[in-house]
Structure 1
Amino acid sequence: MVELFDTHVHVNVHQFDDDLEDVLTRAREAGVKWMNVVGFDRETITRAMALVDEYEFLYATIGWHPVDSVDFTDEDLAWIESLTEHPKVIAIGETGLDYHWDKSPAAVQKEAFIKQIQLHKRVGLPLVIHGREAQADIATILEQEGVGPAGGIMHCFSGDEETAKRCLDAGMHISFGGPVTFKNAQLPKDVAKMVPLDRLLIETDCPFLAPHPYRGKRNEPAHVALVAEKIAELKGVTVEEIAEITTANAKRLFGLTDEN
């Protein structure tokens, strides 16, 4: 069986309160051997930390979502930094910019984003970036601030090829989720074709953005196999090769060994 690494899951949210054990079992049966649980505020970070202590195959990314940047305090930042001492915290995020929603002004989002870029460099962990209708501004900030040696991930990337190249040049990996499988979504397919195999990652972003044929339904980690299938088709290689490559990329980026 293939071994997959879902690099971005939110099994720490309330949509999985009633059947988390079943969801994780289905994921394991589908070949998902590792999952990165992303916390993005006080509640979800706390839940992520509890889950990684309970399940050996789960790891945590912790940070503050751009939509909620208006609520982000220096105390929150210090708390997140203190949690990075936990051995299963593998990245900082998801941070970034999101211009779709009006809750947090762009200037406030940028300030929170830069603080988390600085944190990622300070603690030496990869950076996980969320971008919505803001990919060019994200690339500009990455170029201005500089990405640390630990690198990072453009999670569920939705930008164009030019912006993807800027992010790659800045030292980032590009991750694809359900939208690459959507029949009417040509842009992520074009970007996936141009991303070098050694910078490629896959994810679900569950419970959001379920891939075809589950679009519009609750997403779950088992569906990352469908993303791998589409990427393999676009790259002209086997699913087994994509599984091996993306898993190796994730483990290398997150500093995990074969024993993890």
Structure 2
Amino acid sequence: MWIDTHCHLDAREFGGESLRVAADAAARGVSMIVIPTVTVDNFAAVAQLGAAAPNACYALGIHPICVPQASENDLATMRACVAAAMADPNFVAIGEVGLDFFLPHLAEPAMREKQVYFFREQLKIAREYGLPILTHVRKSQDQVLKHVRQIPPAGGIAHAFNGSFQQAQGYIEVGFKLGFGGNLTFTRALQIRRLAEQLPLSSIVMETDAPDIAPQWLHPGVNTPDQVPAIGAVLAELRGVAVEEVRAVTTANARAVLPRLGSVPNGD
């Protein structure tokens, strides 16, 4: 079986067919899909989807791109929702949270400061409840690492990792796994392919970020979680190992970094 550790299964690009998309993934051997939220406004919908799809679970968090519209009330709502969700076996992590200094309006000083504040507050929630995090990191690898070291969560996943080998080692040292997906299928993505080839397989988990980051054979179309096995096959080819090894190790890695996956109904 495979695990897609990051998929926005609730996205409008799926045209209301999210359950069918999840079923298609299950038919391809994707036994679990982790759905992160992006704003408190989609907490309920994602939790419901996690309950409705037998091979899905969810995380709760406020995405840095949504921070400009977020308020202190949203953080209070999130804390209350996390407290309630601890009784839900389909709830596995805090996410998607982090820092995005790539988009110009998010890189302005005031918005950088607000992002940092929201990230640190969500790290505190993760730490309070002993939860791992799913991080969004764009042009902010070192900054995210700094805050994670200061407010350590119970591990996490560096989603769509595209940093340096030194930064990768920093995440590994704080108990994180590194998420790889469709980007590694592009022959021109030299840095990502080197990372995927040379980093310890014990530190890698699979993801799609669907409907985004489509693999080369779907680009520029809509990505789907059923692509995980094919992306895993590319990873196996890059590393010169059997696909079965990549599947087994990355699945074990996902279960290790997201321990609540073991409580998800039908998670096996």
Instruction: Identify the residue that residue 65 of structure 1 maps to in structure 2.
Output: 63
How many Å separate the matches in 2 of 1:225 and 1:43? 32
Which of structure 1's runs of 4+ aligned residues deviate more than 4 A? none
Alpha-carbon distance, 1:153 to partner: 0.4
Contact 1:204 1:220 in 2 (8 A): yes
Taking only the aligned residue pairs, the percentage that are identical comes to 29
* Aligned residue type for 1:71: Q
How many Å separate the matches in 2 of 1:189 and 1:94? 24
Q: Mapping of 1:34-73 within 5 angstroms?
A: 34-73=32-71
Alpha-carbon distance, 1:33 to partner: 0.8
Instruction: Identify the residue that residue 129 of structure 2 maps to in structure 1.
Output: 123
Instruction: Identify the residue that residue 158 of structure 2 maps to in structure 1.
Output: 154
* Aligned residue type for 2:73: E
* Aligned residue type for 2:125: L
Instruction: Identify the residue that residue 180 of structure 2 maps to in structure 1.
Output: 176
**Which among 95, 103, 109 is matched to residue 97 of structure 2?**
95
Q: Mapping of 1:1-260 within 5 angstroms?
A: 3-84=1-82, 85=86, 86-104=88-106, 105-143=111-149, 145-148=150-153, 150-255=154-259, 256-257=261-262, 260=267
Q: SS of the residue aligned with 2:36? A: strand
How many Å separate the matches in 2 of 1:24 and 1:114? 32
Contact 1:38 1:60 in 2 (8 A): yes
Per-residue Cα deviation, 1:224-260 (whole angstroms, up to 9, x for no partner) = 1122112212222111111111111112222233863
Q: SS of the residue aligned with 1:93? A: strand
* Aligned residue type for 1:216: P
How many Å separate the matches in 1 of 2:12 and 2:23? 18
Count of aligned pairs:
256
Contact 2:59 2:96 in 1 (8 A): yes
Structure 2 unpaired stretches of 5+: none
* TM-align CA RMSD: 1.7
Instruction: Using structure 1 for the length normalisation, give the TM-score.
Output: 0.92
Alpha-carbon distance, 1:139 to partner: 2.0
How many Å separate the matches in 1 of 2:75 and 2:207? 26
Contact 1:161 1:190 in 2 (8 A): no
Structure 1 unpaired stretches of 5+: none
